[in-house]
Amino acid sequence: MTLRNFSRQPKANSGFRKRSSFRTPFKRVRKKSNINIARFINKVKPLEPNEQFVSEHSFNDFAIEQILKDNISLRGYLSPTPIQDKVIPHVLKGADVVGVANTGTGKTGAFLIPLFQKILKNPKEKVLIVVPTRELAIQIDDELRSLALRMQTYSVCCVGGANIGQQIAKLRRNHNFVIGTPGRLKDLIQRKVIRLEEFNSVVLDEVDRMFDMGFIRDVKFLMLGLPKMRHSLFFSATISKEIYKMIDEFLRNPVIISVKTRETAENVDQDVIKTGGKAKIEVLHDMLIKPEFSKVLIFGRTKQGVERLSRDLSDRGFKARSIHGNKNQSQRQNALNLFRNNQLQILVATDVVARGLDISNITHVINYEIPESYDDYIHRIGRTGRANKKGIALTFV
């Protein structure tokens, strides 16, 4: 843990009869992955008791209003996570902060709690939160609403794939937070519905993912439109040279706080699956009928392939849905909710959900197609093995 100032430096139906002409759900990978197959194999060592983290602060120690403390308690937060423990005091002091932390470490609370305090002190305060995916935006908005009880603070979630007319109507009402994806935010700004000069605080969450997804121009457009004297918070799992350049350009003497834990892969039992000449879908079918495969996230590389596999698994009697970029927001959210609430056995997805999404108790991650990079692989398999539980990841090779 480091702290320093920044300087420029269901089970399938058992009676199912297999079709003799069943097609392979995915086309061959068009862009060959160059990952060494050996990197997909890792047997987890028996989990040893970790040294218990003891936070320097309790939530009661922070200089925040009692109503916010009460809402934190109602939310079920018992004590600050490492990133919350280190970040919240600096944000409360008004410092620009760069938080370097893995997904699932409590960073949403690390920025929401002190920003709520700013709004309680000044109800006219406005906060812009920029994230790479619709799912993460909705997840943050849900967290925000749970912390906002009885505080008369309001948020608007602005993401693509959802009705822009409804978003415009909400933006014309009283609100303190706007949470959105870069493309939709830029659209609303160009329509003059969002006025960037009104926002004195900005959060960029999962900055590295926004770089990966090609949003950097839109992000810079947003940052350049904000007041020069603003409060800026960046959160990222990794910091590349390009991100350092953006930090140097847009933040004022930020404190960099790193609370990186070990690679998620180390907590996931990883292995490869070889078909041995058998059709890939048949090997997958034989795996999914086993009772231990109770909540399975399957990754593919293309939207069309993911949709086909989901449909074919449903035809075979499995409770399966898909999530990818061609689905509208309502369809995506419905599939996620069903999966989160254990009403689906299988969610088939593209990498759109590989980062930032927090779904508990996923028993297996299956890479039906090999990802393009090892970094993508790590983020895919990080959906299992969470909360110090052992996970299982299987990759078809």
Residue 142 within any structural domain of the chain: yes
Residue 4 within any structural domain of the chain: no
Domain that holds residue 173: 63-259
Shared-domain flag, residues 77 and 223: yes
Closest to 130 in 3D by CA, of 88, 87, 185, 172? 185
Q: How confident is the model at residue 327 (pLDDT cuts 50, 70, 90)?
A: confident
Q: Is 103 helix (H, G, I), strand (E, B) or coil?
A: coil
Q: What strands lie across the sheet with 268-273, from one edge to the other?
A: 268-273, 391-396, 364-367, 296-299, 346-349, 320-323
Shared-domain flag, residues 322 and 378: yes
Once rounded to an integer, what is the mean pLDDT over residues 263-287? 86
Average pLDDT, the chain: 86
Q: Are 264 and 102 in contact (CB under 8 A)?
A: yes
Shared-domain flag, residues 151 and 223: yes
Shared-domain flag, residues 98 and 200: yes
Question: What is the tens place of the pLDDT at every residue in 21-34?
Answer: 334 444 444 455 66
Last residue of a domain, one of 259, 284, 318: 259
Calpha distance 353→323 (Å, rounded):
8
Which residue has better confidence, 268 or 153?
Answer: 153
Last residue of a domain, one of 236, 259, 282: 259
For position 19, what pLDDT does the model report? 40
DSSP strand E in 68-118: where? 97-101
Domain count, the chain: 2
Shared-domain flag, residues 81 and 163: yes
Shared-domain flag, residues 195 and 167: yes
Calpha distance 48→38 (Å, rounded):
25
Question: Is 217 exposed, middle or buried (CB count within 10 Å of its CB: 0-12, 13-18, 19+)?
Answer: exposed
163 torsion bin: left (phi>0), alpha (psi -120 to 50), beta (else) = beta
DSSP strand E in 215-344: where? 231-236, 255-259, 268-273, 296-299, 320-323
Does residue 380 register a pLDDT over 90?
no
Question: What is the tens place of the pLDDT at every residue in 134-159?
Answer: 889 999 999 999 999 999 999 999 99
Once rounded to an integer, what is the mean pLDDT over residues 11-27? 42
Question: What is the tens place of the pLDDT at every residue in 44-100?
Answer: 665 454 456 677 899 999 999 999 999 999 988 889 999 999 999 999 999 999 999
Shared-domain flag, residues 220 and 336: no
**DSSP codes, 185-223:** HHHHHHTTSS-GGG-SEEEEESHHHHHHTT-HHHHHHHH
Residue 197 within any structural domain of the chain: yes
Calpha distance 182→162 (Å, rounded):
14
Does residue 113 register a pLDDT over 50?
yes
Residue 57 within any structural domain of the chain: no
Instruction: Take residue 97 and report the two structure tokens written for it.
Output: 């902060």
Residue 1 within any structural domain of the chain: no
Shared-domain flag, residues 35 and 79: no
Q: How confident is the model at residue 124 (pLDDT cuts 50, 70, 90)?
A: very high
Residue 53 within any structural domain of the chain: no
Question: Is 163 exposed, middle or buried (CB count within 10 Å of its CB: 0-12, 13-18, 19+)?
Answer: exposed
**CATH number of the domain that residue 31 is part of:** 3.40.50.300
Residue 83 within any structural domain of the chain: yes
Shared-domain flag, residues 328 and 239: no
Shared-domain flag, residues 147 and 102: yes
pLDDT above 90 as % of the chain: 62
Last residue of a domain, one of 259, 294, 309: 259
Which residue has better confidence, 17 or 157?
Answer: 157
Once rounded to an integer, what is the mean pLDDT over residues 177-200? 97
Question: What is the tens place of the pLDDT at every residue in 328-376?
Answer: 878 888 998 999 999 999 999 998 766 666 788 899 999 999 988 887 8
Question: Is 234 exposed, middle or buried (CB count within 10 Å of its CB: 0-12, 13-18, 19+)?
Answer: buried
For position 112, what pLDDT does the model report? 97
Q: How confident is the model at residue 10 (pLDDT cuts 50, 70, 90)?
A: very low
Which residue has better confidence, 28 or 262?
Answer: 262
For position 40, what pLDDT does the model report? 80
Calpha distance 177→174 (Å, rounded):
10
Question: What is the tens place of the pLDDT at every residue in 215-257?
Answer: 999 999 999 999 999 999 999 988 888 999 999 999 999 999 9
Shared-domain flag, residues 126 and 249: yes
Residue 2 within any structural domain of the chain: no
Q: How confident is the model at residue 39 (pLDDT cuts 50, 70, 90)?
A: confident
Shared-domain flag, residues 327 and 385: yes
